Chains A and B, each alone.
Chain A
Amino acid sequence: MFDFVIRRLLALMPVLFVVLVIVFSLVRFIPGDPAVTLLGPGATESQVAALRAQLNLDAPLLQQFLEYLTGLIQGDMGRSLKSGKPVADEILARLPATLEISVFAVLIAIVVGIPIGILSATRPNSGFDHLVRVVSLVGVSIPAFLLALLLQLIFATWLGLLPVSGRMSAYLFVEPVTGFALIDAWLSGESGAIRSVLVHLVLPTSVLAAFLAATLGRFVRTTMLEVMTEDYIRTARAKGLTWSTVVYGHALRNSLLPAITVVGLKFAEMLGGAILTETIFAWPGIGRFMFEAIRNRDYPVIQGTTLVFALLFMLTSVVVDIIHAMLDPRVRGKMR
């Protein structure tokens, strides 16, 4: 198992290298002189020179890249053009907020998506099955920003049940210890703090979870229907095992393994969705940070957030592979 993890990490290195090249190149994709473009037409020559120096655009390309790499290894992602603070610190401060909604969204998606897929596959072509198929297809087709708007309108504006946006009620003062609002609220011991945080979490996590739950439901349904036609299912039935033993003991196990991979891969797409969701719900995570950076043309921040999103994704896919290998010995063998 240890061998597998090491090999998986080594296999990641060339990909990580290309990822770094892409992120490094982002500023260089700006048409014309990036410094002139960023500062606008009114910039003086000394301002342009200062920005070129700050973005490290004057050295030869290879040297720029090497310096970028050395910086990264030391945890230096450059400084924000807007706030002047180190990008790495700014991202670290916002990471817990993004992880908080992402983790809750994944949990909701698993709890909702998988059972729906199973129920749908065990009753193919029933009314429930058709309903699930249509709803899940809408779930993968709806733009995240539309779903967010609809939920805000219905549950916040019209029904007044949930807050429109934000992370907790403004009158609450909770000391940010860990950065995770829920844990901080619990630590603060302030009455109503936990409830306030939970209530604020409902809408943004639902929006994030919707796409993942719909994808999972569709995927589990399809794999399970295919697994049900396998020979070993027929054998199990022929042996006289009960229908529920066959479905939950044989079919389910074999359909859920690939579902783990889907959760991992779609988790990444969900992170992309966090940019839209966090922006709409004024959620102080790295998604909204990236959106603000785009508005301010703050390229060091855009580079930093893009890299962090990619690293989170790569990390997820390694973890998914490891879980997969733990559950399925065939996968471990294949990596040799």
Chain B
Amino acid sequence: MNDLIRFFRINTLATAGTSILACLLVAILLGPFVGIASPLELNMAERLQPPSADHLFGTDSFGRDMLARIIHGGRYTLAIGLGVVVVAFIVGVFFGTIAGFLGGIADMVIMRIVDAILSFPALVLAIALAAAFGPSLQNAMLAVAITLAPQFARLARSQALGVSVKPYVEAAVSLGLPKHRILWRHVLVNAIGPLLVQASLSVGSAILQTASLGFLGLGAQPPLAEWGADVSANLQFVRSSPWTALGPGFAILTTVLCFNLIGDALADWFNPRRRSEM
């Protein structure tokens, strides 16, 4: 753990990413207590105001404070990123480990489904599923999680395959331990490292995909302050009042960038060859 902290210290970009996310988290947690306006408060007298001391990020066409909407939207974004990845991780790792460890018919059926899902461009499948489930933030998250899970399944399967021929697993088998116990206590625990790296790299794309669904009107519905939906809601004002759409857009970019910086650093950390280079 100390090593990891030291590693982050040397890696300036990852530290920057972590710090910016920490600031966002503080803003989200403390926002309501330090007088940030409500993201839903309408004020038609102050509609489409450019950024000023009163409204740091300006106001939208309903006179709502953009800073408040962005800070409030941060909650959804963090919840989306983590929620989607956790669901995809659990489902993907569960089926992937089973496929790798049991082999045979289970492996074949699971992997064909995985291959099929991976045969769609991820965003296209997410859009089609979200369109079928009906437009809402939860359904959009579910749709993105479905497209993300196969990546975990594939990785978990290859990890489980590699681990299951190790002597300690063979020993556990010859001791007569039940399969589910070997699976969770011996196979999964030893395959977890690369899976966690994949998870940290997936948070960014989970946020991007869900925001894209929001932008297309398939995710969060107005007046919810979700960033992707906010960009598209303000699209018609973008030429006269660019801050309305660009604010939430840059918020998405910054957050995804931070998660990718951290994911990259973790990937380097788990790659022994590159770790020694640092």
**Chain A interface (Cβ within 8 Å of chain B)?**
14-16, 18-19, 21-23, 26-27, 29-31, 37, 133-134, 137-138, 140-146, 149-150, 153, 157, 226, 229, 268-273, 275-276, 279, 290-291, 294-295, 297, 299, 302-303, 305-306, 309-310, 313-314, 317
Contacts and interface: CB of A to CB of B under 8 A. Distances in A.
Contacts of A23: 128
Interface stretch (B166-174, B178-186, B249-257): B249-257
B122 A143 contact: no
Nearest to B129: A29
B120 A145 contact: no
Contact of B127 (A138, A294, A314): A294
B212 A145 contact: yes
Interface residues of B, number: 47
A295 B232 CA distance: 14
Contacts of B129: 26, 29
B231 A146 contact: yes
Given A26-B128, A279-B216, A153 B239 contact: yes
A272 B249 contact: no
A143 B228 contact: yes
A144 B212 contact: yes
A149 B238 contact: yes
Query: Mostly helix, strand, loop or mixed at chain B's interface?
Result: helix
Contacts of B122: 269, 272
A313 B215 contact: no
Contact of A313 (B121, B131, B208): B121
Interface of B: 13, 112-113, 115-117, 119-125, 127-129, 131-134, 204, 208, 211-212, 215-218, 228, 231-232, 235, 238-239, 242, 245-246, 249-250, 252-253, 256-257, 260-261, 264, 273
A22 B116 contact: yes
Contact of B239 (A22, A138, A157): A157
B123 A137 contact: no
Contacts of A294: 127, 131, 216-218
A299 B127 CA distance: 12
Q: Which 4 A-B pairs have the closest CB atoms?
A: A272-B123, A18-B116, A272-B121, A146-B249
A141 B211 CA distance: 12
A310 B120 contact: yes
Contacts of B204: 140-141
Contacts of B250: 146
12 contacts: A19-B116, A37-B134, A141-B253, A141-B257, A143-B256, A146-B249, A149-B235, A149-B245, A226-B273, A268-B121, A272-B127, A276-B216
Contacts of A226: 273
Contacts of A149: 231, 235, 238, 245-246, 249
Contact of B120 (A141, A144, A306): A306
Contacts of B119: 15-16, 19, 310, 313-314, 317
B216 A291 contact: yes
A145 B132 contact: no
B216 A275 contact: yes
Given A31-B133, A149-B249, A153-B238, A138 B257 contact: yes
Contacts of B115: 15, 18
A156 to B, nearest CB: 9
Given A141-B253, A142-B253, A145-B249, A306 B112 contact: no
Contact of A310 (B124, B216, B239, B246): B124
A236 B13 CA distance: 35
Contacts of A313: 119-121
Contacts of B211: 143
A26 to B, nearest CB: 5
A275 B123 contact: yes
B10 to A, nearest CB: 12
Contacts of A134: 13
Contact of B253 (A133, A146, A157, A279): A146
